[in-house]
Amino acid sequence: MPAWFQNRLRRAHPTNMLLMSYVLAITVGTLTLMLPIAAKSGHISWIDALFTATSAVCVTGLIVVDTGSYFSGFGQGVILFLIQIGGLGIMTISVALFQIIGKKVVFQQRMAMQEVFSHAPREDIYQLLRSVLFFTLTIEAVGTVLLFLYWQTDLPFAEALYQAVFHSVSAFCNAGFSLFSDSFMRGQSSLLLNITICSLIILGGIGFPVVYELYRHSVMREKSKFSLQTKSVIAASAGLLLAGTVVILLSERTLIPTLGWGNGFLAAFFQSVTCRTAGFNTLDIASLNTATLLFMMFLMLMGASPGSCGGGIKTTTFAVLTAFSWTRLTRRKCVNLFGKTVPDETVTKSISVLVFAMSAVCISVFVILFIDPDHGARIPGNRQFLSFLFETISAFGTVGLSMGVTPSLTLPGKLVIIVLMLIGRVGVPAFTYILAGGGATKGIRYAEENMMIG
């Protein structure tokens, strides 16, 4: 490694390193997908290659061309590789490689790992990293076996194995890329397929720090109490999954009469799981009721958990905001969760994350509609605004679900979605630091004056 590059690494802030690593991976991925061998037709436009590479690295799943029919085996392999490094995090893989070959890991890289996988300083960051890699490969291998069992009855051995590997990695990384044009709609009634994909999505979206803590308590029999983050993630994730399933069942009242109790519940649960960050579907998204789509947008905005493969404002932010709202309604002073008081800084940070997320989505929708006033001519039906709002939230939450407007986006619209996907993957706190810097102590404090609110 050149000396000038090592010096640049030492001076770079961890959040800047994270952004640079994703931008570098997207750039390399774009150039690779533009090779004639990557597409079956031998050609793909630079904007579609950039969009696909960004969607893969940011583990989103929004597509402008059908992955299975447009890309060659080489192109699909490139997308799968981008999904894997994007899901694990480029910094994770680079630090792991440095460890394997015996190279010294610079302090800034170690701090970048710290920011991704831990809410507090810890000495066992390398042990956590090894556990993350082992857990990822193990779960993806188990998912591959189960999915192979599902496809091996209908497909040749090699094809079934390939489909199993691709979709296992895509599901665990919460990417939502599928080699089938209708995602998993054809497997809507398969208990094996639904449970396997849902389990992979949940394990990939719950966050590596939580999984590591659960492992230490259940396998290593450690006596320490669960952290507030682990309790909040589990409670928020379970609550959102249950709420999503119930709302979809109630809103889509024809599911049960049409599919039966078992398949109807399975479809509702699958969609509740996948619309948090994964992007697969067993129901036709564009045909769902408006109320269902509205609640799905709420779930997509909440997203996965910190230190996971998913995006959104994160389940911990949702937990803190819920506790904060209850505290204000009951006129209490402190925000408490599970017998612990949440620091004021964490509360204000959660509010800031929500405000930034809502602002980013609203501005993006406005820009897309403003620069393309004729969008309605290309979108059938009367849901044009809803379709683009759904698209932008899906991009920010790195979900990948769409009402079918992605291929119709113009060049500026695709660029807006690309930026949103990158923000959603890097994370709001890291992105705001990159924009505003870390100087939180600057400013002048004036005399206070009250004002009416609400």
Burial class of 209 by CB neighbour count within 10 A (0 to 12, 13 to 18, 19+):
buried
Residue 78 confidence (pLDDT): 96
Q: Mean of the pLDDT values across residues 249-271?
A: 90
222 has a pLDDT exceeding 80: no
Q: Mean of the pLDDT values across residues 313-321?
A: 92
Question: Nearest 5°: phi and psi at 108?
Answer: -65, -35
CA proximity to 270, closest of 301, 302, 292, 248:
248
The residue count for the chain: 454
List, in sequence order, every beta strand (DSSP E) within 201-357: 336-337, 340-341
Chain segment 74-123, per-residue pLDDT in tens: 999 999 999 998 887 655 655 555 455 455 555 455 555 555 555 544 55
The residue extents of the domains of the chain are 3-436
CA proximity to 75, closest of 184, 255, 358, 83:
83
How far is residue 98's CA from residue 213's CA, in Å, rounded to a whole number? 25
CA proximity to 360, closest of 319, 407, 416:
416
Lowest mean pLDDT among 32-41, 106-115, 229-238, 378-387: 106-115
Residues near 425 by Cβ (< 8 Å), separated by ≥ 6? 22, 57, 58, 59, 60, 86, 311, 398
Residues near 106 by Cβ (< 8 Å), separated by ≥ 6? 6, 9, 10
Residue 88 confidence (pLDDT): 78
Q: First vs last Cα of the chain: how many Å apart?
A: 57
How far is residue 393's CA from residue 396's CA, in Å, rounded to a whole number? 5
DSSP 275-322: HHHT---SS-GGGS-HHHHHHHHHHHHH---TTSS--SS-HHHHHHHH
How far is residue 407's CA from residue 16's CA, in Å, rounded to a whole number? 31
Question: Nearest 5°: phi and psi at 65?
Answer: -135, 150
Residues near 35 by Cβ (< 8 Å), separated by ≥ 6? 74
407 has a pLDDT exceeding 90: no
Residue 107 confidence (pLDDT): 47
Report CA Rg, the chain.
22
Contact 277, 173 (CB under 8 A): no
CA proximity to 86, closest of 122, 49, 47, 116:
116
Q: How many degrees, rounded to 5, is the angle at CA 144 between CA 56 and CA 78?
A: 30
Tracing tokens 């507090």 back to the chain, one arrives at 120
Chain segment 336-378, per-residue pLDDT in tens: 998 899 998 889 989 989 999 999 999 999 998 888 766 554 5
Q: How many degrees, rounded to 5, is the angle at CA 220 between CA 238 and CA 115?
A: 60
CA proximity to 273, closest of 186, 204, 215:
204
